[in-house]
């Protein structure tokens, strides 16, 4: 394992190369970020989800995976669907208020 292996390669105790697709998104100084998505999706699935999109989309994939994994850790039952329900409820409340105006 190179001293500079990315957080993802470190989790697998393997060498990290210049071509490592995970390295730009999971730097070695933030092990927690990869540990989080790995716990929810698994190493291979994270890698596959990044491989399946264009290079310029990968940062957004990582951001959304981190967001969803964080929500799943905070709420193991509903994950980020809890937030979706809360937002939908708020929209319905606002709609009722707006309906009261001409």
- Output the smallest distance, CB 72 to its own copies, in A: 8
Please give the helix or strand (H or E) that residue 68 lies within, else none: helix 58-74
**Could you say whether residue 74 binds its own copies (CB under 8 A)?**
no
**Could you say whether residue 99 binds its own copies (CB under 8 A)?**
no
Radius of gyration of the chain (CA): 19
**Could you say whether residue 24 binds its own copies (CB under 8 A)?**
no
| Sign of the alpha-carbon dihedral angle for 15, 16, 19, 21 | positive
Binding site for its own copies (CB under 8 A): 39-42, 44-45, 49, 52-53, 57, 60-61, 63-65, 67-68, 72, 76-81, 83-84, 87-88, 90-91, 94-95, 97-98, 101
């Amino acid at each position: 394992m190179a001293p500079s292996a990315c957080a993802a390669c470190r989790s697998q105790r393997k060498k990290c190369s210049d071509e490592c697709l995970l390295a730009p998104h999971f730097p070695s100084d933030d092990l927690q970020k990869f540990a989080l998505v790995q716990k929810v999706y698994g190493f291979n699935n994270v890698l596959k989800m990044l491989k399946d999109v264009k290079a310029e989309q990968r940062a957004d994939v990582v951001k959304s995976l981190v967001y969803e994994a964080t929500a799943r850790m905070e709420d193991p039952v509903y994950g980020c669907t809890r937030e979706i329900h809360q937002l939908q409820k708020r929209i319905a409340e606002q709609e009722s208020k707006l309906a009261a105006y001409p």
